[in-house]
């Protein structure tokens, strides 16, 4: 990839003309000087397009005078405009970090100053310094990426997407085809030095097939408001914990084509990053939390394509970052991304698993643990009746509902919605795990009927445990989507029936024990023949 450092000169009055690369060298010295930061130590971090100067309290980000095919920081005026845009765009999610865009000025004596009285010759973004150890990629490397952090990050992303402006008029299918073509061209540019031609050929074939089969859905989603002005670069290193809350920063400012995208394509970068780090359980948790908040299950059929495109981008950008043909570490990482891009487009088989039982049997825990192990890409979709009920009432999963939300009429709506969403997932060719009490035929019949339309049979498991164990578990619940208490449990006991044909599972042990029993039964029942018909 060709990078051009510019040398256009600009004279002012009697001062000596200074080339832009020389001005930027001066700017580097000024911003790296401890005196600029009150005397503290300064760390310098450099990327292909930016230089960041990290002081004790503040950070300054300078855009290099470079041009890439996808990015043009070639003039001071463009850099000023993009610095201002970066602040404006990122203050949507991180006002605590982004302060302003400030000029570097040429003073009377010829020296460069930060926000001085002279003529602006360069611009930088001024930010508040944060603890790098709280970046989510650092937490992931240390094994500290907890379920709570994943859940909160998913909520932050969902809320941000909901508040983002829609972008009408984009041809989402053409946009994805352009991304795919760019990926393939860049991968081929590296040639046999990094990637095998046959792997690139296979990725090209699978990607074109996925775009063609998803063309109608891509356009429907664009017409329906799914394309919004979002983040565009949403991976773990661009999320940081501030006061314990995941905060998104460093969104793309230089090309609307990279940030005016389907919200699920935005989310897919984070999911892909987790999968690349062998954190499939966390990826599944983030995905299901996000989907459960909005019920956007039609879009899951596009996730394999989106995940593959994100991995393909990482494959060629990682290869480009190699220090030379002998950089085996970068070459190996680039190959791992290409392998992931191919794996995301492996054919999947629709499968529907239901987990029922009284409150406290661990249905939702078992379903959440089972979902990442079923299917390709980020695993199975997990549908939970408790969460659907909250969504239908306009509440977050952990918010409590009054008794009126548990009327027969509301419950019928909940189970009808669960059935339709399960069918939508199966119709998209993805596996699904559903959990609910399921103690009566009226709650199961809509689900079985919806799946039958897609040619898929429901694989049911009924969890059971001693009532004393159930009471202890229900009494110890905190921060959970279920509103059931010991009074509700008492009404359930003796009033629920195991559905005909469902396997009885002893749930008196640990969640791991329960899931192991379910998986053993699933493996025993699995004949290897795929069910249903896969289509977008």
Regarding whether 198 and 169 lie in a shared domain, the answer is yes
* Nearest-angstrom CA–CA distance, 109 and 476: 71
CATH number where 249 lies: 3.90.1200.10
pLDDT in tens, the chain (536 residues): 333 333 333 333 333 334 467 899 999 999 999 999 999 899 999 988 999 999 999 999 999 999 887 789 999 999 999 999 999 999 999 999 999 999 999 999 899 999 999 999 999 999 999 999 999 999 999 999 999 999 999 999 999 999 999 998 889 999 999 999 999 999 998 877 788 899 999 999 999 999 999 999 999 999 999 999 999 999 999 999 999 999 999 999 999 889 999 999 999 999 999 999 999 999 999 999 999 999 999 999 999 999 999 999 999 988 887 766 667 888 899 999 999 999 999 988 899 999 999 999 999 999 999 999 999 899 999 999 999 999 999 999 999 999 899 999 999 999 999 999 999 999 999 999 999 999 888 999 999 999 999 999 999 999 999 999 999 999 888 888 888 888 889 888 888 989 999 999 999 999 999 999 999 999 887 654 445 543 33
Q: Which of 511, 498, 526 is nearest to 440 (CA)?
A: 498
Regarding whether 378 and 498 lie in a shared domain, the answer is yes
Full domain range(s) for residue 77: 20-129
Whether residue 372 lies inside any domain: the answer is yes
Regarding whether 125 and 140 lie in a shared domain, the answer is no
Regarding whether 202 and 71 lie in a shared domain, the answer is no
Specify the DSSP class assigned to residue 14.
Answer: T
Q: To which H or E segment does residue 462 belong?
A: strand 458-464
Whether residue 8 lies inside any domain: the answer is no
Regarding whether 266 and 123 lie in a shared domain, the answer is no
- Decide which of 107, 129, 151 is a domain's last residue: 129
Percent of the chain with pLDDT over 70: 93
Regarding whether 218 and 188 lie in a shared domain, the answer is yes
Regarding whether 69 and 203 lie in a shared domain, the answer is no
Number of folded domains that form the chain: 3
Whether residue 536 lies inside any domain: the answer is no
* Nearest-angstrom CA–CA distance, 158 and 152: 10
Whether residue 3 lies inside any domain: the answer is no
C-alpha torsion angle, residues 137, 139, 140, 142 (rounded to 10): 130
Regarding whether 373 and 299 lie in a shared domain, the answer is no
Whether residue 209 lies inside any domain: the answer is yes
Regarding whether 197 and 107 lie in a shared domain, the answer is no
Regarding whether 118 and 190 lie in a shared domain, the answer is no
Whether residue 12 lies inside any domain: the answer is no
Regarding whether 294 and 205 lie in a shared domain, the answer is yes
- The answer for 295, left when phi > 0, alpha when psi is -120 to 50, beta otherwise, is left
Q: Give the residues across from 63 on adjacent strands.
A: 50
Whether residue 532 lies inside any domain: the answer is no
Q: To which H or E segment does residue 229 belong?
A: strand 227-229
CATH number where 483 lies: 3.40.50.300
pLDDT tens string 328-368: 888 899 999 999 999 999 988 899 999 999 999 999 999 99
Regarding whether 74 and 57 lie in a shared domain, the answer is yes
Whether residue 214 lies inside any domain: the answer is yes
**Angle in degrees, CA 8, 13, 19, rounded to 5:** 20
* Nearest-angstrom CA–CA distance, 270 and 27: 34
- Decide which of 129, 151, 185 is a domain's last residue: 129
Q: Are 461 and 353 in contact (CB under 8 A)?
A: yes
């Amino acid at each position: 990839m060709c990078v051009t450092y510019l040398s256009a000169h600009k004279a002012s009055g009697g001062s000596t003309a200074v080339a832009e690369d020389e001005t930027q060298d001066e700017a580097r010295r000024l911003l790296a000087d401890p005196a600029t930061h009150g005397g503290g130590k300064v760390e310098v971090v450099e990327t292909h397009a930016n230089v960041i100067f990290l002081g004790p309290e503040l950070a300054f980000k300078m855009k290099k005078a470079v041009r890439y095919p996808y990015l043009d920081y070639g003039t001071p005026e463009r850099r000023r405009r993009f610095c201002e845009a970066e602040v404006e765009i990122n203050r949507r999610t991180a006002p605590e970090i982004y302060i302003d865009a400030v000029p570097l000025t040429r003073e009377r004596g010829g020296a460069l100053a930060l926000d001085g009285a002279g003529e602006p010759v360069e611009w930088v973004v001024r930010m508040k310094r944060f603890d790098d150890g709280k970046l989510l990629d650092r937490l992931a490397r240390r094994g500290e990426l907890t379920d709570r952090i994943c859940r909160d990050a998913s909520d932050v992303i969902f809320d941000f997407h909901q508040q983002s402006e829609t972008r009408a008029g984009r041809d989402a299918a053409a946009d994805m085809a352009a991304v795919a073509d760019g990926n393939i061209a860049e991968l081929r540019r590296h040639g046999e030095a990094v990637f095998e031609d046959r792997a690139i050929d296979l990725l090209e074939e699978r990607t074109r097939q996925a775009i063609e089969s998803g063309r109608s859905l891509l356009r429907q989603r664009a017409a329906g408001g799914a394309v919004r002005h979002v983040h565009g670069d949403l991976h773990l290193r661009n999320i940081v914990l501030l006061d314990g809350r995941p905060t998104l920063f460093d969104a793309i400012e230089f090309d609307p084509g990279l940030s005016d995208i389907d919200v699920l394509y935005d989310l897919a970068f984070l999911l892909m990053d987790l999968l690349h780090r062998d954190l499939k359980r966390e990826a599944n948790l983030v995905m299901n939390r996000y989907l459960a908040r909005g019920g956007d299950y039609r879009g899951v059929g596009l996730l394999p394509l989106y995940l593959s495109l994100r991995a393909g981008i990482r494959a060629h950008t990682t290869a480009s970052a190699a220090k030379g043909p002998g950089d085996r570490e970068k070459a190996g990482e680039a190959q791992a991304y290409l392998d992931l891009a191919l794996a995301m487009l492996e054919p999947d088989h629709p499968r529907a698993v239901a987990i029922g039982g009284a409150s406290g049997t661990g249905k939702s825990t078992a379903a959440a643990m089972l979902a990442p192990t079923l299917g390709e890409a980020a695993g199975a979709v997990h549908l939970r009746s408790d969460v659907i009920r909250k969504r239908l009432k306009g509440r977050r999963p952990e918010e409590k509902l009054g008794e009126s939300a548990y009327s027969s009429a509301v419950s019928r709506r909940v189970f009808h919605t669960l059935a339709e969403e399960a069918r939508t997932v199966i119709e998209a060719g993805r596996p699904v795990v559903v959990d609910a009490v399921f103690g009566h035929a009226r709650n199961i019949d809509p689900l079985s009927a919806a799946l039958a339309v897609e040619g898929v049979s429901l694989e049911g498991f009924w969890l059971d445990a001693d009532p004393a164990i159930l009471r202890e578990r229900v009494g110890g619940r905190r921060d959970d989507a279920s509103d059931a208490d010991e009074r509700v449990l008492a009404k359930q006991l003796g009033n629920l029936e195991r559905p005909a044909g469902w396997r009885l599972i002893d749930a008196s042990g640990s969640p791991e024990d329960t899931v192991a029993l379910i998986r053993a039964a699933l493996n025993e029942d699995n004949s290897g023949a795929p069910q249903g018909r896969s289509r977008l």
